């Protein structure tokens, strides 16, 4: 069973008029921000919102979603565990298709140098705009946040301890005097 997204704003594709832009604003509540903070292992998340422009392209079953999202996040420093606040603001552009077979052909080759990613597949004619914004937020989070001025070497020098787990130290004990 798949858990429901913490921040969900469903949009029925059938309500989108072809060749006419539709604008949507999505904003997470405090409860949704708290749930997303747990999901993304953040100390806090606030002000998550997205401004989206949706366009159904008439020559096919393609939905283009362009927009921008913003949020205030606080992560934990990987060295000192101090709070690392950040403001995230990014634009994004993605496309969805109703026909997954057309997009995900087994013989299809992907060129990683292309600017455009392959289209996402929507299911049951619904796109979750809240989850889309949440996924773009997750892509922008710093995987190794560090507080300003904090470094691992400085922490080790300050405490006067060297790392205890050095994987190649075991190999040193296996060398015989003849090997040296």
Q: Specify which residues 48 forms β-bridges with.
A: none
Say what angle helices 30-39 and 129-140 make with each other, to 10 degrees: 50
pLDDT of residue 149: 80
Tens digits of residue pLDDT in 14-72: 888 888 899 999 999 999 999 999 999 999 999 999 999 999 886 667 899 999 999 99
Distance between CA 168 and CA 48 in Å, rounded?
45
pTM of the model: 0.73
What confidence category does residue 107 fall into, taking pLDDT thresholds of 50, 70 and 90?
very low
Burial class (CB in 10 A: 0-12, 13-18, 19+), 108: exposed
Tens digits of residue pLDDT in 132-173: 999 999 999 999 998 888 776 655 566 656 556 666 666 666
Contacts of 166 (CB under 8 A, 6+ apart): none
Q: Specify which residues 27 forms β-bridges with.
A: 49
**How many C-beta atoms lie closer than 10 Å to residue 75's C-beta?**
24
Contacts of 80 (CB under 8 A, 6+ apart): 147, 150, 155
Cβ atoms of residues 136 and 112 within 8 Å: no
């Amino acid at each position: 069973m798949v858990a429901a997204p913490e921040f969900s704003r469903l949009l029925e594709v059938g309500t989108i008029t072809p060749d006419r832009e539709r604008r949507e604003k999505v904003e997470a509540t405090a409860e949704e921000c708290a749930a997303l903070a747990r999901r993304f292992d953040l100390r806090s998340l606030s002000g998550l919102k997205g401004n989206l422009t949706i366009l159904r392209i008439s020559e096919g079953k393609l939905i283009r979603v362009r927009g921008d999202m913003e949020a205030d996040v606080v992560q934990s420093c990987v060295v000192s565990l101090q709070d690392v606040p950040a403001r995230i603001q990014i634009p994004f552009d993605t496309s969805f298709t109703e026909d997954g077979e057309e997009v995900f052909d087994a013989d299809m080759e992907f060129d990683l140098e292309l600017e455009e990613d392959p289209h996402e597949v929507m299911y049951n004619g619904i796109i979750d705009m809240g989850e889309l914004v949440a996924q773009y937020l997750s892509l922008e989070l710093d995987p190794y946040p560090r507080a300003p001025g904090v470094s691992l070497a400085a922490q080790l020098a300050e405490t006067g301890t060297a790392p205890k787990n050095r994987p190649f130290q075991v190999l040193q004990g296996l060398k015989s005097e003849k090997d040296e």
